[in-house]
Amino acid sequence: MKSKNLSEKILRSVKSKGFKYIELPSVIEANHIVQRSGENFRKFMFSFTDINGKELCLRPDLTIASCLRYLEENLKGKEKIFYSGQAYRKVQSKKDKIIRNQIGFEILGSKDEKNDDKEIINTSLKILQNIKYSSGTLTIGNIEIFNLLISKLDIPKRWKLRLSRHFWRKEYFNDLLKRLETNADIDPTIVEIDKKRYLDLLNKNPETMIAGRSVGEILKRFDTKIKDPRQAKRGNKVSKIIKSFLNISCPINKAAIELNKFFKQNKINLVVDQRYFPISSNKLSKLNVKFSTSFGRHLEYYSGMVFKIDVKSKSATIKCAGGRYDRLISDLGSKKQVPAVGAAFNL
């Protein structure tokens, strides 16, 4: 199927579900992207400086551009929108494409989260009904369950925040787990060195800058570590629990059963109801539906339900992915948290 014909079919399907078409700016402030995704993301951006010295970039992500629109236009309440266009991102492999053609659709500002999650997935499935394909897979995950697990683990608060914050950075996250396993950061010698540094810094001006941070900030961090220590024997146990959790993969109708069995085995005070998931059928429109605890780590801003659909037609491989990102608009500058969920087809 030619890309243009496919695009027109998708756009018609989304519109028929009550979504309103909007235009998105091709150029946005680079600062918004860096604040949200960190300095490491800068190397993927096509950026430049305008005559006023402001750093701008070609949009590397349509979802962020859409959420910025909602914020900057001071919009309130529920919006069902869709858009199409190109995202521009530098690549590290010759196989990857710099320009990505996408069609996205979102529900912003609605508090009916579970029904909105279902509607986004059902809209994606409706689109696929108009495309001939033989088989495919719908994978569902949930970042919120991971964060709930972390909140119950017997480790200091700073470690809980660290693990939740870096879940999407797979390699760095695995390094954190190794630190938990080996307890290298609480070696008695290192602890004594840290205490000596702490005492030395107490005699310095709190406003003095060291490696980009004030002495006051460094002291605050040391103070937290000293008052809330992590016991060596617990690190290895916690790491094993996390690794075991991230290995859970099953048909979607077994998701609650497998999760609750895991929580019970590890004496974690959590229970999940099968109704928590947007879908409970293992087969939908030729798609095998599965649940995976490790899915959803490809974008930092996801905060709840996440999903992807992979199907193969005779002429193309079609991919759709999306999820819930309730904190994104507030992270971009909103004083209030705005519920948001959406998906995009990559053409």
The DSSP string of 215-279 is: HHHHHHHHHHHHHSPPPHHHHHHHHHHHHHHTT-EEEGGGHHHHHHHHHHHTT------GGGSS-
Query: Residue 262 pLDDT > 60, yes or no?
Result: yes
Give me the helix-helix angle, 170-182 and 232-245, nearest 10°: 140
Q: Which helix (H) or strand (E) holds 45?
A: none
Residue-wise pLDDT tens digits, 116-133: 999 999 999 988 887 777
Mean pLDDT computed over 271-295: 92
Structure confidence at residue 284 as a pLDDT band (50, 70, 90): confident
Top-confidence residue, 194 or 68 = 68
All structural domains of the chain: 3-133+313-346 (3.30.930.10), 143-167+236-308 (no CATH), 168-235 (no CATH)
Report the distance separating Cα 281 and Cα 114, nearest Å.
16
Q: Which residues touch 201 (CB under 8 Å, ≥6 apart)?
A: 215, 218, 219, 222
**Cα separations in angstroms, 282 against 139, 156, 243, 304:** 11, 39, 25, 21
Are 164 and 296 contacting, i.e. CB atoms less than 8 angstroms apart? no
Query: Residue 253 pLDDT > 70, yes or no?
Result: yes
Q: Which helix (H) or strand (E) holds 345?
A: strand 340-346
Are 262 and 244 contacting, i.e. CB atoms less than 8 angstroms apart? yes
The DSSP string of 140-170 is: EEEHHHHHHHHHHSSS-HHHHHHHHHTTT-H
Query: Residue 187 pLDDT > 60, yes or no?
Result: no
Q: Which of 347, 340, 273 is nearest to 119 (CA)?
A: 340
Structure confidence at residue 228 as a pLDDT band (50, 70, 90): low
Angle subtended at Cα 124 by Cα 121 and Cα 129, rounded to the nearest 5 degrees? 125
Structure confidence at residue 43 as a pLDDT band (50, 70, 90): confident
Residue-wise pLDDT tens digits, 63-100: 989 999 999 899 989 999 999 999 998 887 777 788 98
Secondary structure letter of residue 341 according to DSSP: E
Are 30 and 325 contacting, i.e. CB atoms less than 8 angstroms apart? no
How many beta carbons lie within 10 A of that of residue 196, not counting itself?
10
pTM for the structure as a whole: 0.81
